[in-house]
Amino acid sequence: MNLFANAVEALADADRIEDGRIGVRVVEDQSRLVLRVEDDGPGIAESHAEHLFEPFFTTKGATRGTGLGLWVCYTVLERWSGIIELATPESNGAEFLLHLPK
């Protein structure tokens, strides 16, 4: 839910939510399931990418975000022996890959 909420908010911030795209794709290979969550919002600055999964890191400001959403995603996936990664820093939109063991 955190990833989708961030994607919707990114599109809303860009004044493009009616034209924007949020998608999910599931890719299976022999050992894992990969869930792709992507949007075509403004993207994520490279300077922010290295801090995305740190607790309390946010670019939203004090009244709009706690900086815990992506950290929670990271922590939950780590406990399930999975990983989450940003696949598209510095581009139009953001794409996150969630890797889960089968």
Alpha carbon distance 38, 22 (integer Å) = 6
Q: Could you report the per-residue pLDDT of 3-25, keeping only the tens digit for each?
A: 777 777 776 555 544 444 555 56
pTM above 0.85, yes or no: no
Q: pLDDT tens digits, residue range 74-91?
A: 999 999 999 999 987 556
Domain range for 56 is 2-101
Q: What is the CATH number of the domain that holds 85?
A: 3.30.565.10
The answer for residues whose C-beta is within 8 angstroms of residue 18's C-beta and 6 or more apart is: none
Domain total in the chain: 1
Q: Which of 2, 92, 89 is nearest to 41 (CA)?
A: 92
